[in-house]
Structure 1
Amino acid sequence: MQGALSNLRILDLSRVLAGPYCTMIFGDLGAEVIKVEAPGGSDETRHWGPPFQNGVSAYYLSANRNKESITLDLRTTEDQEQFKKLVATSDVVVHNFKTGTMEKFGLDYDTLTTLNPRLVYCSITGFGETGPLKDLPGYDFILQGMSGLMQITGTEESGPQKMGVAIVDILTGLYACIGIQAALLERSTSGRGQRLDLSLYDCAVSSLVNIGSSYLMTGVEPKRRGNTHAQIAPYQTFDTKDGSVIVAVGTNAQFIALCSLVNWSPPEEFETNAGRVENRDTLTAVLSLYMKERTTAAWVDALREVGIPCGPVQTFEQLTNDPQLHARDMWITQQHKRAGTIQQIGSPLKLSRTPVTYRLAPPEPGDHQTKWI
C-alpha cells in the first residue's frame, strides 16, 4: 500500500530535532527521505544520552525512522556535485545549517533552483534568514526563554520554567511540514517551487496565542499560573488521595454539576466564570478539600459520569499502559540493525486510505550509500 506522499523525494540535511521531526513525518506518510550527513554521521543526537541501546541513542531514534542514509562531505567539490545530482530528481530540500552555510557550499536556493525549478527549499534557523539576529545559532531552550514561553510557564514562586520537551523544535517541525506541503500544492498549479524561511523564534512566538493576544490588548504582563488557567476557573489540577486530577470546567452547567457532585452550595459570586476567576483562591481552597477525599481514579469516574471534562495526571508507566493509546497504535516496535528491538512512539496521523507505515528503522550513517551514490 502506498502512502499519501509516496510520490515525493526529500533530501534531509537537518540534524537534532526540528528538521528531522519534520522529515520523519513525511517519511511516515510514505515519502522517500534521504538523510544526508557528513562522513561518520553528523547528527549530534547520535551521541546525546544516556540512554543508549547497544550504543544507539534514544534521542536519535525518536526522530529518524523511515529514512535512508548517505554521507557526503559538502565542503568538497566532488560531493557537492553528487548532492546536485540528487537535487535534480528531488522535490524538497530541508536543512538547518546556520545562515550562510549553504551559500558557502554553493548549494543555496538560487543555485539549486537552476537545476530544478520545481524544488521546494526549506531552511530552518534560530532567528530566520533576515533581521539583526539572523547569524546567531538557535537552540530550543534559548528560544523558549526569549519568546515569552518560559515567562508564562511555572509559578510565581518557581520563576520562569522551560517545558519538559523541546517544544519549540517540535512546533517548528510541524510548521515546516505545513509550509512545505503548501508550497507543493501551489507547485501543482504554477509548476514552480519556492523557498521557505522558518525561524524557531517566530514559531515559538506564534504559540503564545491567547496569552499573547491578551498582552497586546491590555499591555499587562501575564503571570505564571502553574496548573491554573488565566481566563477560566476551575480549570486546574487538584491533589487527590493518591495523586492528581485535572478538572477543566468550561461552562456554568459544568460548574453546577461539579458543585452537586461534591454537595456544595456556592455563594453568588461563583455563579459566572468571571466571578470564579476573580475569586479563584477561595474557590480553589474549597474544592481542594473535597478532592482530597477520593482517589484519582474515583474522581475521574465520577466527573466523567456527570459530563465534567477531566483526566488523571499520569506517570509514564501509566501512559504506556493506557488502553486508549494501545487502541490507537501509538506504541510501535521496530528492528534496528545495531540497537536490536526498539520501541517508539507511533504517528498520530490516522488516514483511512493511505495510512502511515513504519518501513525503515532509523538508519546508521551511510546505510544506503550504494543505492544513491
Structure 2
Amino acid sequence: MDLQSTKRGIQSAAPSNTLPLAGIRVLEVGQVIAGPFCGQLLGHYGAEVIKVEPPDVGDPLRVWRELDVDGISPWWRSIARNKKSVTIDLRKEEGRNLVKRLAVTSDVILENFKPGTLEKWNLGPDDLHPLNPSLVFTRVSGYGQTGPWSSRPGYASVCEAESGFRYINGQPDPQTGALSGPPVRPNVSLGDSVAGLHAAFGTVLALLSRKNREAQGLRGGQTVDVSIFESMINLMEGIIPEYDRKGKIRGPSGSSVTGIVPTNAYPCKPAPSSPAAPAYVVIGANADSIYARLMHAIGRADLVGPDYAQNHHRVARQAEIEAAIAAWTAGRTAQEAEDALKAVGVPVGQVLNVRDVVESEHTKARGLVEEVAVPGADGGAGWTVKMSKVVPVLEGCDAPTRWAGPELGQHNREVLVDELGLSEGEFARLQVTGVVGK
C-alpha cells in the first residue's frame, strides 16, 4: 500500500466531514496534561487523534486524583475523549519504527517530552520531514526547544512561578505592595492547560499555512514550539510594558485587581440552607455609570460625584469604597445581594462551587455539561460520566463528545492492523515481544 492511499484510508475514519478538522490525523505521543489537552481540543473538532501509550501502564494520568469504580480516573475519561489508544514501547527500536510509520501518514505529531528526546529516538523533525514534508511538529515543553533553560524539566507549577504569574497571586504587603507570604495557586494545573491552548492554536495555524508555504517552495510542515513559561507570560496583559514605561512592578492584589475600582469579592451572610459555608459575591462596577448605580443601590450616594467620577479618582479612594460595599454585602446573603444589584444593572455573581455550576440553569441551557457513556469491561454494564463540553461553539457544527477516554490499547488492532497494514502474524509477534501491548 503506497503512502497516499494509506493516508487516505486513515483519514476516511474521521467521524464527520462537517467538523472543521475532519481529515486531519494527529499522532499524540505526549502524556499527562499539556500535550494531551491540546490533543483533546483537536480531537473534539474532528481530528483523528491516535494516542501512543506505554504498554501495561499507559499515561500516568489514567490513575491521577479520584478513581472510578474501574480504578481509572474520571479525569482521564475527559482529557482522552475522542482519542484512539495504541500501546507501543518507545524504548524498543521496533516500537520507534512503528511510530515513525504512523508519523509518515499523519498530519501532526504532538509531543511534550523533554527537548531532545524525540531526536534521541530518531523521531525528530530532521528524521521525519524527509519522509513526510507536510508533517507539523507540535512540541510542548517547560521552556521551549532552545535557550539556556530548555533542558530543565517542564513542571507547570515551577513555570508559573518563573513567569511572574505566581508573584501577582496572593495578599499584598500593606506597606510595600509586594507579596506577603506564599503565593496562592489555583487548584488546577493552569500552566499546562494554558500551554495546551497555545499548542492547539499554533497547530491550527501551522495546518492553515501548509499550502502557502508549499506555494513559496518551502516545506509544508513546520515546528510549533510551545512552552509553559512563555504561555503564562502571554497572559500577563500590560505588566511588561507598564514596567518598561513606568518602572512599575505589579504585585498581588488579593481578590481585586490593581488599578481598577471597584472590582472585588465581597463577604455575605451565609445562606440559611448552608449556615457553615462562607459566601461571597464578585462585583464588577468599574465603569463610571455602573459605579454610580451601585452606590445608589447600596445607599451610599455620598460616594458619587466629582471626587469619584472616573476610575483614577476611585483608585485614590479604594479603601473607602471597598469598605462601603463590604458593609452592605455583609448584611445580606449572596442571593439577596445578587438580586438587588442585578435589578439595577450592576454586574454581580456568586462564587460557585462545582456542584453549583453543574446545576446552574445557564449551564443546562447551554448544554455545557455532557453525560458521556463509559462501556463496562467485557460487555458488562457501564456507566456515564459528566464532563464539560469543549468550547468554542461553532455555528452549524454541533460537536458532542463521541466517546470517553478509551481503555489502554483499545485501538491497537484497528490502528496497527487495519490502518497501518501490519499482518496478523507481525502484530502477534510484536505483542509477544512486548513492542505492542496486549
The alignment's TM-score, normalised by the length of structure 1, stands at 0.96
- Cα deviation, 1:269-311, whole Å, max 9, x if unaligned, reads 3232112111111211122111222221122222122221111
Structure 2: which amino acid aligns with 1:235? T
**Distance (whole Å) between structure 2 residues aligned to residue 213 and residue 248 of structure 1:** 25
CA contact 1:29–1:357 (8 Å) conserved in 2: no
CA drift at 1:24: 0.6
Say which one has the larger Rg: 2
Unaligned runs of 5+ in 2: 1-15, 173-179, 215-219, 271-278, 377-381, 417-438
Q: 2:387 aligns with which of 327, 330, 344?
A: 344
Which residue in 1 is equivalent to 2:251?
Answer: 223
Does the 8 Å CA contact 2:23/2:47 hold for their aligned counterparts? Answer: yes
Partner of 2:403: 360
CA–CA distance in structure 2, aligned partners of residues 161 and 279 of structure 1? 26
What does residue range 25-36 of structure 1 map to in structure 2 within 5 Å? 25-36=41-52
Letter in 1 for 2:240: G
Q: Is the 8 A contact 1:9 1:91 kept in 2?
A: yes
Equivalence for 1:372:
415
Alignment equivalent of 1:194, drawn from 222, 233, 241: 222
3-state SS of 2:202 partner:
helix
- State the Cα distance separating 1:94 from its structure 2 match: 0.3
1:249 aligns with 2:285: yes
**SS state at 1:93 partner:** strand
Question: Which of 181, 190, 206 is residue 204 of structure 2 equivalent to?
Answer: 181
Distance in 1 separating the partners of 2:58 and 2:300: 61
CA distance in 1, matches of 2:58, 2:203: 24
AA of the residue aligned to 1:362: G
Stretch of structure 1 that moved more, 225-234 or 212-221: 212-221
* 8 Å CA contact retained: 2:262, 2:283: yes
**Which residue number in structure 2 is paired with residue 163 of structure 1?**
186
1:130 and 2:146 correspond: yes
1:84 aligns with 2:100: yes
CA distance in 2, matches of 1:92, 1:36: 13
Quote the offset at 1:74 in angstroms. Answer: 1.7
> In structure 2, how many angstroms separate the alpha carbons of the residues matched to 1:99 and 1:347?
29
Question: Hey, what's the Cα distance between the residues in 2 that align with 1:50 and 1:303?
Answer: 38
Residue 267 of structure 2 is aligned with which of 235, 239, 242? 239
Distance 1:198 1:263 in 2: 51
Aligned 8 A contact 1:4 1:355 in 2:
no
Inter-partner Cα distance in structure 2 for 1:190 and 1:222: 41
Partner of 2:328: 290
**Which residue of 60, 68, 71 corresponds with 2:87?**
71
Contact 1:145 1:162 in 2 (8 A): no
Question: Conserved in 2, the CA contact under 8 Å of 1:29 and 1:355?
Answer: no
Query: Could you tell me which residue of structure 2 aligns to residue 262 of structure 1?
Result: 298
Secondary structure of 2:302 counterpart: coil
What one-letter code is carried by the residue in structure 2 that aligns with 1:166? S
Q: How far 1:158 sits from its partner (Å)?
A: 4.6
Letter in structure 2 aligned against 1:174: L
Residue identity in the other structure for 2:401: Y
Q: Work out the CA distance in 1 between the residues paired with 2:203 and 2:384.
A: 32
1: CA distance, partners of 2:401 / 2:159: 32
- Which range is displaced more, 125-134 or 153-162? 153-162
1:343 Cα deviation (Å)?
1.6
CA contact (8 A) 1:30 1:357 kept: no
CA contact (8 A) 2:74 2:385 kept: no
CA RMSD of aligned residues (A): 1.6
Q: RCO higher in 1 or 2 (8 Å CA, sep ≥ 6)? A: 1
**Unaligned stretches of 5+ in structure 1?**
none
2:127 pairs with 1:111:
yes
Q: Distance in 2 between matches of 1:261 and 1:158?
A: 36
Q: Distance in 2 between matches of 1:147 and 1:303?
A: 37
Cross-structure match for 2:168? 152
Partner of 2:109: 93
**TM-score, reference length from structure 2:** 0.82
Measured after TM superposition, the shift of residue 71 of structure 1 is: 1.1
Aligned partner of residue 291 in structure 2, secondary structure: helix
Q: How many aligned positions are there?
A: 373
